[in-house]
Amino acid sequence: MSIQTTDSVTLDFYSDKYRSRLCDYHLTKEQSRYASVPSEVLETCKEDDSKYPVIILYNGEPAGFFVLHGWEGVQTYSDNRDAILLRSYSVNSRFQGKGIAKQSLHALGSFVKQHFPKKTEIILAVNHQNTIAQHVYKRSGFIDKGVRKMGPKGELYILQKEL
């Protein structure tokens, strides 16, 4: 298994070796409105083999989490079968303010190219009220091309990043 590195931030596919270290994973009140803690998300990944959970490590310590979702997730937001969906992205509140989000999102393109070489695009859906996340995603190269969808918590902006 290959791990993608950017400074002190690494991306690795989830495995049980991280389970105990994710028990102390907390989100801010604002983040909790839009994201779930990894333990909740991992349950859905067990039921769907098109979901690939990824751990964001900061100096070897689990600091964040997200899921890469194949066509089954993408088709809700795009007709590009060569896209992969980034979902459930979060950084543990204990690790925020260290540039982890920025570094992990910059490493994401290389990680996807390495493990999903046929993918040409990463897409994500972000709630229109979640302006902090929008800012982070856009600074990391995601582009808002004006695609909108309705989600359970309101309007979603669909952002895209070509690989």
Burial (Cβ within 10 Å: 0-12, 13-18, ≥19) of residue 46: exposed
Decide if pLDDT at 77 tops 90.
yes
Residue type, 159: L
Q: What is the pLDDT of residue 30?
A: 86
Q: For residue range 113-129, list pLDDT tens digits in order.
A: 999 999 999 999 999 99
Q: For residue range 4-41, list pLDDT tens digits in order.
A: 555 599 999 999 999 998 888 999 898 899 989 999 99
Q: Which two tokens stand for residue 158?
A: 């669909």
Distance CA(75)–CA(88), nearest Å, equals 17
Q: What is the pLDDT of residue 1?
A: 52
Distance CA(35)–CA(130), nearest Å, equals 11
Distance CA(71)–CA(80), nearest Å, equals 8
First to last CA, the chain: 21
Enumerate domains of the chain plus CATH numbers: 4-162 (3.40.630.30)
Q: What is the pLDDT of residue 21?
A: 87
Report pTM. 0.93
Q: Which two tokens stand for residue 43?
A: 């349950």
Mean pLDDT computed over 40-51: 93
Decide if pLDDT at 144 tops 60.
yes
